[in-house]
Structure 1
């Protein structure tokens, strides 16, 4: 059956198309393209020993050149925790619409890991440039890179 151009223009999308559009517009970047400073839910399982397990948030700390390279399947993240500890290696992030957090959460700069991008489940949002600067300072302290 052939439709006129007028009929095609006024045709409403199906519920499946609408759902698909919402799902894709919520996360404009493909799973393989995280960006530095973004918070993603990571599937940490299977964890070993004291490593985190389950699906939990993490901050992408790797540079975007590595993050966006289709030939590089890894990224570097810092784990996050809602357990508040006054440690110089933890950076407290307040929840906001921009970062997608629902509680105050610490970026644990002493717990950095290289993971496969396939472990990234969902983009939550991103932190501010001020927060990323504080994370950078804590990472330098953790890795003994401060003068």
Structure 2
């Protein structure tokens, strides 16, 4: 089994430096599923229960995430990690919530949709 985009996993972020998220914490898989299937690494966004309302944070509730507290996906805390850092799957976000993640990720990375 490999992680899928939209899954929430418990991740070991240690070691970390400075203001990077650290410790064991949930994270959202944001890499595409082809990459998740074939690569030894994946891309994640850290999740925090410190819920500050920033345009690059996406609020998630326990009922929609598998988590125990109101939380935010922090799209300014994205990181490529080895899959060995993945501890266990905690839940999954639905497609509507992933649209919010996509918008916040585009804002965080300075990307625009071409028309």
**1:94 positional shift:** 0.6
2:94 alignment partner in structure 1 = 128
Q: Which runs of 5+ in 2 are unaligned?
A: none
2:43 alignment partner in structure 1 = 76
- 1:1-147 aligned within 5 A: 29=1, 33-69=2-38, 72-96=39-63, 99-146=65-112
**1:88 positional shift:** 0.3
Normalising to structure 1: TM-score of the pair? 0.74
SS of 1:85 mapped into structure 2: coil
Q: Distance in 2 between matches of 1:50 and 1:138?
A: 20
Higher relative contact order (CA 8 A, sep 6+): 2
Normalising to structure 2: TM-score of the pair? 0.93
Superposition misfits of 4+ residues, deviation over 2 angstroms: none
Q: Which runs of 5+ in 1 are unaligned?
A: 1-28
Aligned residues: 113
Please provide the CA RMSD for this pair. Answer: 1.1
Rg larger in structure: 1
